[in-house]
Amino acid sequence: MHGVLFTYGGDRASHGPHQFSGPYAVIDFQTTGLAPRGADRVIEVALVRVEADGTVGEAWSTLVNPGRNTGVPFIHKINDADVSEAPTFAQIAPYLLSQLDGAVVVAHNAPFDEEFLAAELRRAGYADLRMPGLCTLWLTERTMGDLPNRKLPTLARELNIPLTTYVSRDHVIATAVVLNHALAIYGKPLLYGSDVFHWNGGPVLPPRVVNKVRGLRKGSGWMSSLLTKLPVIAGDVPDAASEAYYELLCAAMEDGQITRDEAQALGSLAGEGGMSRRDVEGLNKRFLETMREAAFTDDELTAAELRELTRAAKALGVPDYFDDLTPTDKMTSSPPSPVEASAGSGAEASTRAATADASPVARRCGNCGEAGHYRPTCPSLTAVDDRSGG
């Protein structure tokens, strides 16, 4: 019931006087080995918040430089080069602790993660902390007893959750789904021996992160799979990293598609550059906007050009990106004759007039859908940039 850092939730009065039903902070670590009190260290961390109503937030993750070798790579697929530019645990500790504020800390086989969390926090200067903890392995033993075992891959298969077994970000997302499922079956709050932890260090911005994209699956497309492996939350991205990704993307898209190897290479650049999913989506859309501008250089858009644009958008995981476009040969029509123009109701005439006034190559913005401009000059996006100072 009491670990080095957690007081574990349970269903008996002896577990403690504190009753909580969320929020929760789900954590997972990849480590150099199994000895947190010895020489082994954390080399990857992931966290996702789950609200009391079951809402799962956006996962945050980063590789961690352990100040030593990464152990046996075939277990976690992380090597020394992967973590060479990653932040240390001391550098991410304030942000990590700020995300544990007011929450029950959850992990699958929680004593393992608890021991490493306590050891790393102690090295970073945060000792003698206490917080409520919950082990989903313990919880599923009491709520999902009809399975051969309660290992996370088994639970993920049972609940149809995508999971790469050695990727911490996948682990926390899967554990969050398992948590919600098991709590719904359990049906009542658990008891804990300590109050929730409160971070008193003030607001903390997300630190610079480094990630390694692993476990890509083709599914709906290699790029779509890549995006699911990136965190939504990340720190500042160096301009050089963004440009390196964009240059590789341009080269990869010369044939209008993304292969597995190209997706892996793009994912490596994105991870090493500390990019979030939104950063990559922004660079992908920058490429698509460049294609749009090129297609309209002659103020014409042929059906073949539109097919090429649509193929590129599909390859980048946004198949409807160019749905606002129509080939110019389909948009051009002869003006109505005087007899046709005088026929019909006033509303019909107004509609025909509006259609006739519309330029056959009228530009429609990929952001707001309005005619007359493209995404790079969209007034709404310009207003956002002005407000942010960017």
Least confident of 259-263, 297-301, 317-321: 297-301
Domain shared by 129 and 247, yes or no: no
Of 160, 192, 224, the residue that ends a domain is: 192
Please report where in the chains the tokens 């991410």 appear, as a residue: 92
Q: pLDDT digit string (tens) for 35-77? A: 999 999 999 999 999 999 999 999 999 999 999 999 988 889 9
Flag whether 19 is in a domain. yes
Domain co-membership, 243 together with 172: no
| Residues 10 and 147 grouped into a single domain | yes
Rg (CA), the chain: 26
- Per the domain annotation, does 253 fall within a domain? yes
pLDDT at residue 360, as a whole number:
41
Does position 348 have pLDDT exceeding 80, yes or no?
A: no
- Give CA–CA dist 10/138, Å, rounded: 9
**142 and 250, same domain (yes or no):** no
Asked if 269 and 181 sit in the same domain, the reply is: no
Q: Do residues 14 and 162 share a domain?
A: yes
Q: Is residue 248 part of a domain?
A: yes
Q: Kindly state the tokens that stand for 230.
A: 């990136």
| 348: its two tokens | 């019909």
Residues 136 and 278 reside in one and the same domain: no
Instruction: Identify which has the larger pLDDT, 215 or 242.
Output: 242
pLDDT band at 14 (very low <50, low <70, confident <90, very high): confident
| Of 280, 295, 321, the domain-final residue | 321
pLDDT of residue 338: 47
Q: Are 221 and 185 in contact (CB under 8 A)?
A: no
Q: How many domains does one find in the chain?
A: 2
CB atoms under 10 Å from CB of 168, counted, come to 26
Q: Would you say residue 291 lies in a domain?
A: yes
Predicted pLDDT of residue 1: 67
Within a domain: 43 = yes
Q: What pLDDT is recorded for position 346?
A: 44
Q: Would residue 361 count as lying in a domain?
A: no
Final residue of a structural domain among 293, 321, 349: 321
Same domain, residue pair 89 and 152 = yes
Average pLDDT, the chain: 87
Asked if 133 and 9 touch (Cβ cutoff 8 Å), the reply is yes
In a domain, 173, yes or no: yes
Evaluate if residue 279 carries a pLDDT over 90: yes
Single-letter amino acid, residue 101: D
179 and 231 in a common domain: no
Q: Return the pLDDT at 195.
A: 96
Helix, strand, or coil (residue 62): strand
* pLDDT, average across residues 115-127: 97
Residue 347 located in a structural domain: no
Q: Which domain holds residue 233?
A: 214-321
pTM (2 d.p.): 0.78
pLDDT at 311: 95
Q: Give mean pLDDT, residues 194-206.
A: 94
- Statement to judge: residues 21 and 151 lie in one domain: yes
Q: What is the CATH number of the domain that holds 43?
A: 3.30.420.10
Which tens digits make up the pLDDT trace of 226-248?
Answer: 998 998 877 888 899 999 999 99
- Residues 177 and 229 reside in one and the same domain: no
Q: What is the pLDDT of residues 305-326, one digit of tens each?
A: 999 999 999 999 999 999 988 8
The answer on 185 and 39 residing in a single domain is: yes
